[in-house]
Amino acid sequence: MFANKVVLVTGGSSGIGAATVEAFAKEGASVAFVGRNQAKLKDVESRCQQYGANVLAIRADVSKDEEAKTVVQQTVDKFGKLDVLVNNAGILRFASVLEPTLIQTYDETMNTNLRPVVLITSLAIPHLVATKGSIVNVSSILSTIVRIPGIMPYSMSKAAMDHFTKFAALELAPSGVRVNSVNPGPVLTDIASGSGFSPDLLEDTGAHTPLGKAAQSEEIANMIVYLASDKAKSVTGSCYIMDNGLALQ
Ligand code: NAD
């Protein structure tokens, strides 16, 4: 489905991002992916090479403008064009409005979950216009529901991301570029480890959804691939909820 297509995934070295890199690689895409940990990048690269995929592992911290600015150019230098951008890199940090460290956590969260999305997208747009490509942002059901104390900066970053998705979809539609997001509920990844939340946050939240479970990264990756594909050629400006029914409660 993605033969001769070039995909760039941020935060591609673990969790949903790594599953997304592999899913596009299996579909025949050339995939560039960004992460900070060399060993994890290498691991994903080796798995993709088993499918004979062309991959480019880019070591960069997207919260630093000077590093984030290079990732689109490195992708185009290697593969000659860009068809799909997946803005997936993100962090989760506990921060209560009652804590004096709130503003530091707010800045760290916004500088990782939101600012690089705007920066990298703006640099990718000329290339995506040239290929009539598409963008998929990895948001969260927490962009719309207020449920878990201490998750305010994260929720704010994802709420802003949803507005970015919709404005970008509106403004890029005349160029034939589609922009959507996937908004998962709990997914079993390592995002909660070291976050200040319980390490069981995702499993426990999943257990209390109507379907009684958290999702696997591969399920989210499949939706990302679908939204980026021609099968979704009439879909733009959508924030696609995959939350095991969490928001119904
Ligand atoms: P994860 O921790 O496994 O993956 C996050 C990825 O982002 C990692 O590869 C990490 O290296 C990368 N990253 C973080 N900060 C970075 C930086 N400064 N520079 C470069 N890369 C950076 O967690 P995940 O759950 O796979 O998260 C992926 C996305 O999914 C995030 O945007 C997250 O908000 C979103 N999400 C996750 C869940 C969940 O329950 N796991 C639910 C909804 C949304």
Question: Among 14, 136, 244, which is best to mutate for testing ligand 1, by the most ligand atoms less than 8 A from CB?
Answer: 14
Measured CA to CA, the distance from residue 92 to residue 135 in angstroms comes to 22
Q: Which residue's alpha carbon is at the smallest distance from atom 39 of ligand 1?
A: 187
pLDDT at 8: 99
**Ligand 1 contact via 202 beta carbon (within 6 Å):** yes
Condensed to tens digits (0 to 9), the pLDDT of residues 26-37 reads 999 999 999 999
Taking residues 99-128, report their average pLDDT.
98
Arithmetic mean of pLDDT over the chain: 97
Query: What is the 25 CA–ligand 1 centroid distance (Å)?
Result: 19
pLDDT at 93: 97
The answer as to whether 1 is a domain residue is no
Instruction: Compute and round to an integer the Cα radius of gyration of the chain.
Output: 17
pLDDT at 161: 99
Measured CA to CA, the distance from residue 226 to residue 202 in angstroms comes to 25
**Ligand 1 contact via 63 beta carbon (within 6 Å):** yes
**Ligand 1 contact via 90 beta carbon (within 6 Å):** yes
Is residue 236 within 8 A of residue 179, CB to CB? The reply is yes
What is the count of structural domains for the chain?
1
Q: Which residue's alpha carbon is at the smallest distance from atom 3 of ligand 1?
A: 15
pTM: 0.98
**Ligand 1 contact via 77 beta carbon (within 6 Å):** no
Residue whose tokens read 């997936």:
88
Query: What is the 91 CA–ligand 1 centroid distance (Å)?
Result: 5
Measured CA to CA, the distance from residue 249 to residue 235 in angstroms comes to 27
Collect contacts of 126-129 with beta carbons under 8 A, ≥24 apart.
Answer: 127/72, 127/76, 127/81, 127/82, 128/82, 128/83, 128/85, 128/172, 128/177, 129/172, 129/175, 129/176, 129/177
Closest C-alpha among 6, 58, 11, 56 to residue 28: 6
Structural domain boundaries, residue 145: 6-248
Active site residues: 154
The answer as to whether 74 is a domain residue is yes
Closest C-alpha among 160, 131, 151 to residue 228: 131
Report CA-CA distances (Å) from 203 to 26, 50, 186, 208, 223.
28, 31, 7, 9, 21
**Roughly what angle, to the nearest 10 degrees, separates helices 217-228 and 15-26?**
50
pLDDT at 118: 98
pLDDT at 51 over 90: no
Q: Tell me whether strands 6-10 and 84-87 are parallel, antiparallel or unpaired.
A: parallel
Task: Supply the CATH number for residue 41's domain.
Answer: 3.40.50.720
Measured CA to CA, the distance from residue 196 to residue 95 in angstroms comes to 8
The answer as to whether 38 is a domain residue is yes
The answer as to whether 227 is a domain residue is yes
Question: Among 187, 205, 208, which is best to mutate for testing ligand 1, by the most ligand atoms less than 8 A from CB?
Answer: 187
**Ligand 1 contact via 21 beta carbon (within 6 Å):** no
Query: What is the 6 CA–ligand 1 centroid distance (Å)?
Result: 21
Q: Which residue's alpha carbon is at the smallest distance from atom 10 of ligand 1?
A: 11
What is the position in ligand 1's atom list of the atom closest to the CA of 187? 40
Condensed to tens digits (0 to 9), the pLDDT of residues 170-201 reads 999 999 999 999 999 999 999 999 999 999 99
**Ligand 1 contact via 140 beta carbon (within 6 Å):** yes
Condensed to tens digits (0 to 9), the pLDDT of residues 194-245 reads 999 999 999 999 999 999 999 999 999 999 999 999 999 999 999 999 999 9
